[in-house]
Structure formats: structure tokens, C-alpha cells
Structure 1
């Protein structure tokens, strides 16, 4: 079967195709025929060599930490009726690799059955972003009428956060780059949109909240954009610095955070074990099945063009999710 391997750390060109033996289902495992692989900005960062202290991945490796597909074989100790099921699953435990392949063997305990109403592409798009989005909503506990700033509002997770915050009864302020992205944010339910590529955008957030600032900030971008978003956070607000799509996570002065009585959440607050991921994934899938949540898949790429998928993400050439379809 075909797999895509990052032969070394570097640019998208290090992603190369090779052949590998078909996987077998060992005891407690299933083999999944892969339909769609979630592709994240962080995957491109890991491929470039960033984040070794967080993820412990060494090259060469096969990227891809989450996917959807159909169970085609079951090993000893796995109920046979699981064969033929449509599932979403994590690969390699929670190690974040192995999914850029036509078929994968995974622990049967890692698979999440899909509701009939949820397509395989939508399911793959939720395996990470849906889980993190649902946990963020639990962390910040939005109350009706609060002002919520979503930074990076048209990325895969930002799209979900705009909808979830709106459903919680918040006034949603969506921050993104460019008119096309802001238009999508409004279509998803944002009350106010601001372009964070323009100088003084944080002041416009303050203006939109009558000078109060955002009660909740969900920062999916980081670095100087996140720092500006902190300036627009209300006294006593909540700030989640979970994103790093520029060069790093938002770094804040602890004394300033304390002085302004801001409750701070970071990437550690969305590091979850398998049971929690499955619980939150099931919750996100249920929201999609009920029609209350809509992923936006901007573009798909064949497995053979995984490098193209990474290039599109790095160039910010796609609005919404990027998926790889073996």
C-alpha cells in the first residue's frame, strides 16, 4: 500500500511516497481503510522540525494523527460486528503520526463510531479541532450575553468556535485576515468582524464592546496577534492561548495577567487522554448530526499530493479545513 513519509525535517518537499506492507490487525486492533486524514497547521510545523520538546517525533516518520474510514478487519478480542463500521480514530496511540496511508492498524479502543448523519470528511475534520473546541468551551464556560473574541476565526477550529460561542448566547467578535475570511465569519454567526492584519485592530474590538473589552478571548493564532488580543481582554476576563500559527504561543507578562485578574489557559489545558478525546469527539459529532455545528472543508488533496496540502496550509491559501483523501 502507499504511504507518505516525511523523510527528514524540512519543507513540504520532504513528504515522499513509498510502498509499505499491508497492516494486519493484531490482538485488540482493527484495520481501517482510510477515507480522510485531518491535516493541521501544527502538522506542518512538526514536519519543519519545530516542537520536538512537545511531541517527541523524530524523522523519518509518517504524519497524520487522526482520520476517518471504514473498519475492514478485526483482530483477536475485537467484536466482529465492528467490521464494516464507519469510524473516526486516532493513530499510534496519541502519538500524532501514521495516518498518511491507505490503511492503518489502530487499537479498537481508539475508534469512535460515527452517527449516520455525519459524513466521513466532516468526521475527520472534527477529530482534533472538534475535540479541542469542545474542551475550550468547557474551560471558559461562556455565559449568555458575554463578549467573546475568536482570533483566527476561519481556521478549522475557529470556524467551530464562532458557532459554539454563538450557540452559547455570546456576542461574537471574529478576528481573521482579509475580506473573504471575514465574510465567512459573518455567515457563521459572528456579530462583529475585525481584520487583524490592519493596524489598531484591537482598539476596534474595544470599540465594539463599548470599551469593556472581551470577556473571553479564544486565541488560535499566538505571537504578536495574541498579545494584541490580550490588550482587548476585559478586566477579570478569560484568555485561552492555545494557538501558534505564526511563530509561537502568546507570551504574556504574569504580573500583568494577575493585575488585570485574567484567568489564563494554555496549550496544557487541551492536552487530553484518549477517554477525554473520545468523549469530546462524540459530543462534537452529535452537534454536527443535530445540525447545530457545521465544519467548513476548504480543500481536499489526494494522498500523493500531501506536500500540496502542507503548502496550502503554510501559505494560508485555504479557508477552513484541509483534508488528505487516500
Structure 2
């Protein structure tokens, strides 16, 4: 089969297509014919050697999320699963390929009425956004700032917060994402590449300040956004796309949420199922900004790192 193999850390050019042996499912595993593979920003950090969990062993096939049809199963797996269309996590690697192994408990059937590519777009981002949304316990009228609002997780958080009757302010870099973000339910959009972006955020709150910040960027942007919180406000910290953590002013009365222990495998599966069902019911819309063929994985990573992409980026198997 064809697979993207990473033999060294570095720029996107280290992602090269190779012919490798087909994987064979062992006990408790299924083999998925990959139609789409998910790409996350963290995977670009891992590729560069700066991932949040250290450097993995090489060589490796990147990719932790796929969607496709089960074409083989391990000796102890119910053969009735053959032919089932699923999304699945792969244990951290193996997704950028024509065939990928997954534990049977990590394969979630795609509900009727939901396109497979949409299901793949929700596999990582949907469970993350839904978990963050539930932890935040948004109340009607809350003034909520969503950073990276045009991205995979951010675009879902905008929808979820708007559905909870919050006053949502979407923030991202550049003006090109404004129409998308407001179409998802944001009351206003702020370009945080502008020097006066915080003034615009405060104006959008009526000068009161924010009740909640979803911070997936960190660094200067996250620090500034947290500074716009009212006393007693909350910040949900879930990422550091900037490469640095946001700074917290310990003298202020700010509640930090979202830094709880990782959900259990059963909880993770339940979040994925819920996200897929919400999408199948038309209550959550994943935004797929761009899709690349498998052999263009390097171009896909390059596009993500340019910060010009919108929504989710997928590889097509």
C-alpha cells in the first residue's frame, strides 16, 4: 500500500510517500480502507520535532484519525463488522495511508445521513469542542470569545456557544474568515492581527468585558484575550497553537476550566458518538476548508502552518 512515511523531524518536506507492506489486523483490531485521514495542528508540531509529548520514535506513518470501510478483522473480532463504514482513532500513528489499523473499540460507525468526510472532520475536533463546551457550562447571554474561530475546533465552538444563546465574538487572523464565522452564529468577528483588536472585543461586549474565553492559541493572543475577561470570568485553555502558553494574572479573580484529566476511552467514544449524531441531525456543521490527496501531505501541513486555512484539513486516501 501507499503511505506517508516520516523518517526524520523537520519541515513538511520530510513527509514522503512510500510503498510499504499492508498491515495485518491482530487480536482486537480492524483494518480500515482509508477514504479520508484527519490532520491536526498537533501533528504539524510532532513532525517538526516540537510536539507537546516529546519526540516519537522514527520512522513512522503519521495520522491519528481515519474514516473508511472495515476490510479485515482480527481473529477474535466479530466478522459481521466487515464492510461497516467507520471513523476510528489509530493510536497516534498510521493514519496517512491507504490502509490503517485500529482497535475495534476505537472504530465508531458513521450514522445514516452523515457524509464520511464530515464524520472524519468531527472525529478529533468534534469530541474536543463538545467536551470544552460541556465543561464551560455556558449560560444564555454569556459574552464568549472564541479564538481561531475559523479553524476546526473553533468553528464548532462558535456553533455550540451560539446554540446555547451566548453572545459570541469570533476572533481569528485576517479578514477573510469573517463571513464564515458570523454565518456560524457569531454576533461579531474580530481580526486579532489588528493592533486595536482588544478594543474591538471590549466594544462588542458593551464595555463590560468577557464572561468566557476559549483559548486554543496561547501566547500573546491568549494572554491579551484573558485580559479582556471581567472579574469572575472563565477561560477554557485547550491548546497553544502559537507555541507558547498564555499568561495568567494571579492577582485577578479568573476561573480556569478545561484543564481536567483526559477523558477515559469510553468517555471519548461517547463524545465522538454525540458529535456525529448532532451533525447527522443538522445541529452541528463541520467546516472542511481543504482536502489534499495522500501524496500531498507535505502541502497539507504547509497550508496549515501558513495560518491561512479555514476549518478542517483532510487527506484523501
Cross-structure match for 1:314? 305
Answering whether residue 253 of structure 2 is matched by residue 261 of structure 1, we say yes
Task: Spell out the pairing of 1:130-145 with structure 2 (5 A cutoff).
Answer: 130-145=126-141
**SS where residue 87 of structure 1 aligns?**
strand
Quote the Cα distance in structure 2 between the aligned partners of 1:303 and 1:23.
Answer: 17
Give TM-score, length-normalised by structure 1: 0.94
Cross-structure match for 1:325? 316
Shift of residue 280, structure 1, vs aligned partner = 0.5
**SS where residue 234 of structure 1 aligns?**
strand
Shift of residue 55, structure 1, vs aligned partner = 5.0
**SS where residue 177 of structure 2 aligns?**
helix
**SS where residue 221 of structure 1 aligns?**
coil
Spell out, residue by residue over 1:206-256, the C-alpha distance to the aligned partner (whole angstroms, 9 max, x if none).
Answer: 121122211111012111000110111121111012122222231323x23
Cross-structure match for 1:11? 11
Cross-structure match for 2:120? 124
Quote the Cα distance in structure 2 between the aligned partners of 1:279 and 1:56.
Answer: 30
Cross-structure match for 2:76? 77
Question: What stretches of structure 2 of length at least 5 have no aligned partner?
Answer: none
Question: What stretches of structure 1 of length at least 5 have no aligned partner?
Answer: none
Spell out, residue by residue over 1:167-226, the C-alpha distance to the aligned partner (whole angstroms, 9 max, x if none).
Answer: 011010111122220111111111011111101211221121122211111012111000
**SS where residue 57 of structure 2 aligns?**
coil
Quote the Cα distance in structure 1 between the aligned partners of 2:30 and 2:192.
Answer: 45
Cross-structure match for 2:270? 279
Answering whether residue 209 of structure 2 is matched by residue 203 of structure 1, we say no
Please say if residues 241 and 249 of structure 1, whose CA atoms lie closer than 8 Å, have aligned partners that are also in contact.
no
Cross-structure match for 2:56? 57
Quote the Cα distance in structure 2 between the aligned partners of 1:158 and 1:308.
Answer: 22
Please say if residues 136 and 270 of structure 1, whose CA atoms lie closer than 8 Å, have aligned partners that are also in contact.
no
Cross-structure match for 2:102? 106
Quote the Cα distance in structure 2 between the aligned partners of 1:270 and 1:158.
Answer: 21
What RMSD in Å do the two structures reach over aligned CA positions?
Answer: 1.4
Answering whether residue 144 of structure 2 is matched by residue 148 of structure 1, we say yes
Number of residue pairs matched? 317
Q: Which runs of 4+ in 1 moved over 4 A?
A: none
Spell out, residue by residue over 1:251-287, the C-alpha distance to the aligned partner (whole angstroms, 9 max, x if none).
Answer: 323x23xxx3211135x43733321211101111011
Give TM-score, length-normalised by structure 2: 0.96
